[in-house]
Structure 1
Amino acid sequence: MFHKLFQSKIVLTVLVSVCFIFQSYSQTKKLKRPKSRVGISSVDTFVQESFDLYEKVYKYDGYAQAGTPLDDEDIDVLEEALAEMTNLSDSAPDIISDLDGVGILKQGKATLQINKAKKALTYSIKTAKALLLGDKTKPEEDDKKTQETASNQKDEKDTTSDSDKKATDDTNIEAPKNISDDLEIYSKFDFVAGDELLFFEDFANDFIGDFPSRWNTNGSGEVVKINKVEGKWLQLKSGYNIHLIPDIIELPEDYTIEFDVLAEGLDNKTSSTGRLSVILSDNNKFNRGIEHYIEVSIPFGQYAAFDFRVKNFFNKDEGDINSAIKGDIRKEVLNQPHVSISVTKKRFRLWVNEIKHIDIPRLIEVENVLDHLKFQITNFKDGKEHIFISNLKVAKGGVDLRRKLLSEGKISTNGILFNSGSANIKPQSYGIIRQISQVLLQDESIKLMIVGHTDADGNDDTNLKLSKSRSEAVKEALINVYKIDGSRLVSEGKGESEPIADNTSPEGKAQNRRVEFIKQ
């Protein structure tokens, strides 16, 4: 009898111990994905993306709890998922605002699903951080507390206007509006392109369907032509850890990067994590960087306004900056935007069209280590959503055109750009014209000769007329936008007659397409 009682106590003790161990190392009970859709596209997309990420993190959490170590690829996936989850979580107030004016029953169902998705995101963010930090045994009660807190949070109402709330479903690719429609908006645009061209790419020498000859990738991409839009474009390939790298050997201390973007197939179901990332890296391999890099991602999601994401990484460690910067560019990304970037020592600035969205004085913590440029797109639907870039221009900066004009009496710049075959000035050129106007306003005795030059494409007579029209367009911009007295300006065109570089390469042609300002 005593022996049986003793055996029973041992069995009970073992069972209690097993239960305790199981509780200490088991995952929180898995949340169930809602089976039906609400019928509000922004809500349905938010819920679907939240649970897609939740299930990914839950799987890795299960590996960790079972004692299976995470390899480098698992860690990369988790890091990327964490950034996506943070973006998605930040968009929740915008999604809630879309319930205004919806019927009571549908609003109630949507609210329940949003709260469930928020609970999934809260778990996912907390768990992903713990896994990345190596804390793989999280007591169940901590997760319960986190979920209770999330479920009790008060839904926030966003105060954006109705026009901001409405996600556009326009998938047509539209050319930029004519610059003459609204000249005044460019008068304060302060981006100035670098003055020494390092790399120019319009894919003019590449065959349609090929991957461009002066780029590298670990994925895919091809040069294409698109109806209604001039020129050739590189179609980027979306995928995990896919990078597209132009053959730029070394970036200087001060420089500018410019490129045009084209988007097709975007609508209010485009993912909040659909992004184009620009990476400045310490190597030209297929990763963000080994010891140093910065990454800036541009949002393309359409069902709400999403943030620009900025991150720096130096000396093999997370940097001081991991930011989400507000900026509603939903309409801009549908209408062939121009992206301009200026790097001046540690300072990093980024404009989309003529609006500056990022200006961080010390984003680059260690100077002269970021020598390479990389592009990456993530979470676009294959076969439906397409992202293209063209007219990539990298130029060395550092010369103040105002001081050079005053000291030397003459400057030449290829930073004033025009639409192909026309004298319509591109908006991104107005920063340079603004600097010229500042010289003229500072010293009213100065008079300028404006001289236009072209490359050798086309015949001599056409190029001569085009160069004259372009120099006259710059003169008119100084008069109409910056209120310079026209009697102080003279325009002239020289066509292709005075090249300064080889007309057979893209860089050479770009250098020959220039405007000179000469003091009289």
Structure 2
Amino acid sequence: MKRILAIGIFLIPTLAIAQGGFMDRLKKKVINKAEQKADQKVDKTIDKGFDKAEQAAKPGSKPADNTAPSKTPAATTSPAAAPAPQAAPDAPAAPALKSHSKFDFVPGEQIVYTENFEQDAIGELATGWNTTGTGEVVTLNNFPGKWFQVHQRSFYLTSNQKEFGENYTVEFDVIMQVKYNGHFLPYFSWGIISTNGEPSTGNDFLRNYRKYGSIETIFYPAEGGRSQLGIHTYNAARGYYTGDQQNVPVLSDFFGKPIHVAMQVQKERLRIWADKDKILDAPKAVALGTMMNQLFFEIHSSSYKEDQYGMFISNLKVAKGIPDTRHKLVEEGKFSTTGILFDVNSDVIRQESYGVLKNIADVLKENGDIKVKIIGHTDSDGEDKKNLDLSKSRAASVAKALQETFGIDAARLQTDGKGESVPVGDNKTKDGKALNRRVEFIKL
């Protein structure tokens, strides 16, 4: 995420505020020795993780062995091409998705754009992207798949060429590594823009990206206090909506692990989540009639050097439309979704799948006589047999989650898996593979 990343558009907070936060922290360190020691311990942990990520990010470095599971769930990129799937773990004492019980995000129905950099060369700029600076595809020691490292004083446009429509969702994962040295940290931004029929990666939009319309979010990281998120939207280069800056968890909560960012636009309504937390729900934030078709990322300037600060993004997904789960399952007898996500080459459901599973569970609760068969599907990467086994174990994990987290009677659920045998997209393309990695619900 080359001026990349994360949540973004532009509100530049005053330097006085940033310096004030720093002075408060400095005073606390002088007064409270115990707090200082605790901070040093945290900093050492952060430094260690950053050094590993930095080493892996260097061009020519050996890719990490991603077969061993990480303590922190990593973003899934492909359900195939991996070691044999592991059996689902024993039932936890509490529902597995309870920590995301407020995450009501449901992705769009039709995939428009996906990007996990799997086809890009390590050390090179992502294929089809444009930037004012530099950036490179890397691997990280502790997280599977490929990631795009973005740098300060750089602005990035993705390779997308398609319009999003008037109802759509945007998702991505971001990892931030910081060696905090007492100075204020760089702000990082992300957003969406309209190029109004002009080439979506044209050089003009690296600078003049607001001329037709945009939705911009900027994250103001604050160590030792509450970080904040600001949102602006524009219509024909003029300000359209400015939201109050929202508090988000302290910066250290984001260090060294993937954060899942999600945005949903339904005509005028704009909603944004960071992991399980809903940050914004504005009913009239987006100008009607503006057809968005491009994502951007940016990291702003700071006094930090490249070996002190790292930002990595992956698993971008744009999907349009609003899933009509009730109509499709109850009346048409079949509902398919790419919104139930799993750890890489695993049947462990990712926490951000909560909203989709809750939506399905609500339909089943409202229609108590319906029984369904849950069928898992994969793309064609990897061995046929492993894909088949993985698809079956993932379907079983979905059934288990519906039972344990949402109270659906096990007698109403059957499971099966088809592996890669029933594709609905072209397995030679990234978007096609994403379509094939799906879970179907068939009314019995």
1:343 pairs with 2:343:
no
1:233 to 126, 147, 155: 147
C-alpha distance in structure 2 between counterparts of 1:464 and 1:205, whole Å: 24
C-alpha distance in structure 1 between counterparts of 2:73 and 2:315, whole Å: 18
C-alpha distance in structure 2 between counterparts of 1:296 and 1:397, whole Å: 22
Query: Which position in structure 2 is the counterpart of 1:253?
Result: 166
Q: 3-state DSSP class of the match of 1:362?
A: coil
Alpha-carbon contact 2:262-2:273 (below 8 Å) kept: yes
Shift of residue 94 of structure 1? 8.1
C-alpha distance in structure 2 between counterparts of 1:477 and 1:206, whole Å: 35
Alpha-carbon contact 1:337-1:352 (below 8 Å) kept: yes
1:476 to 395, 400, 406: 400
CA separation of 1:443 and 1:329: change in aligned 2, threshold 3 A: farther
Number of residue pairs matched by the alignment: 380
Shift of residue 101 of structure 1? 7.9
Deviations, residues 120-140 of structure 1 (Å, cap 9, x unaligned):
xxxxxxxxxxxxxxxxxxxxx
Query: Which position in structure 2 is the counterpart of 1:282?
Result: 194
Shift of residue 90 of structure 1? 7.0
Structure with bigger strand share is 2
Question: Quick check: 313-322 or 510-519, which moved more?
Answer: 313-322
CA separation of 1:363 and 1:229: change in aligned 2, threshold 3 A: same
CA separation of 1:468 and 1:237: change in aligned 2, threshold 3 A: same
Shift of residue 431 of structure 1? 0.9
1:244 pairs with 2:157:
yes
Query: Which position in structure 1 is the counterpart of 2:67?
Result: none
Query: Which position in structure 2 is the counterpart of 1:359?
Result: 281
Q: 3-state DSSP class of the match of 1:323?
A: coil
2:100 to 149, 162, 186: 186
Deviations, residues 21-73 of structure 1 (Å, cap 9, x unaligned):
xxxxxxxxxxxxxxxxxxxxxxxxxxxxxxxxxxxxxxxxxxxxxxxxxxxxx
Deviations, residues 252-291 of structure 1 (Å, cap 9, x unaligned):
111111111111234263624x222112222241133114
| Alpha-carbon RMSD | 2.8
1:382 to 287, 305, 320: 305
Q: 3-state DSSP class of the match of 2:442?
A: strand
1:497 pairs with 2:418:
no
Give, as a single letter, the amino acid of the residue that structure 2 aligns with 1:459.
E
Q: Which has the higher contact order (CA 8 A, sep 6+)?
A: 2
Give, as a single letter, the amino acid of the residue that structure 2 aligns with 1:212.
A
Alpha-carbon contact 1:437-1:484 (below 8 Å) kept: yes
Alpha-carbon contact 1:300-1:333 (below 8 Å) kept: no
Q: Percent identity?
A: 34
> TM-score of the superposition, structure 1-length normalised?
0.68
C-alpha distance in structure 2 between counterparts of 1:379 and 1:197, whole Å: 34
Output aligned runs, 1:86-485, within 5 Å: 86=14, 89=17, 92=20, 96=24, 99-100=27-28, 102-103=30-31, 169=43, 170-171=45-46, 172=49, 176-177=72-73, 182-239=96-153, 242-267=155-180, 269=182, 271-272=184-185, 274-283=186-195, 284=200, 285-287=205-207, 288-334=209-255, 335-379=257-301, 381-383=304-306, 384-485=308-409
Query: Which position in structure 2 is the counterpart of 1:45?
Result: none
Give, as a single letter, the amino acid of the residue that structure 1 aligns with 2:194.
D
Q: 3-state DSSP class of the match of 1:247?
A: coil
Instruction: Name stretches of at least 5 consecutive residues in structure 2 with no aligned partner.
Output: 1-9, 51-69, 75-88
CA separation of 1:234 and 1:101: change in aligned 2, threshold 3 A: closer
C-alpha distance in structure 2 between counterparts of 1:87 and 1:195, whole Å: 42
Query: Which position in structure 2 is the counterpart of 1:136?
Result: none
> TM-score of the superposition, structure 2-length normalised?
0.79
Question: Quick check: 182-191 or 475-484, which moved more?
Answer: 182-191
Query: Which position in structure 1 is the counterpart of 2:65?
Result: none
Instruction: Name stretches of at least 5 consecutive residues in structure 1 with no aligned partner.
Output: 1-81, 107-161
Query: Which position in structure 2 is the counterpart of 1:512?
Result: 436
Give, as a single letter, the amino acid of the residue that structure 2 aligns with 1:219.
G
Shift of residue 318 of structure 1? 2.4
C-alpha distance in structure 2 between counterparts of 1:439 and 1:298, whole Å: 36
C-alpha distance in structure 2 between counterparts of 1:404 and 1:87, whole Å: 52
Alpha-carbon contact 1:447-1:488 (below 8 Å) kept: yes
Shift of residue 301 of structure 1? 3.5
Shift of residue 309 of structure 1? 1.1
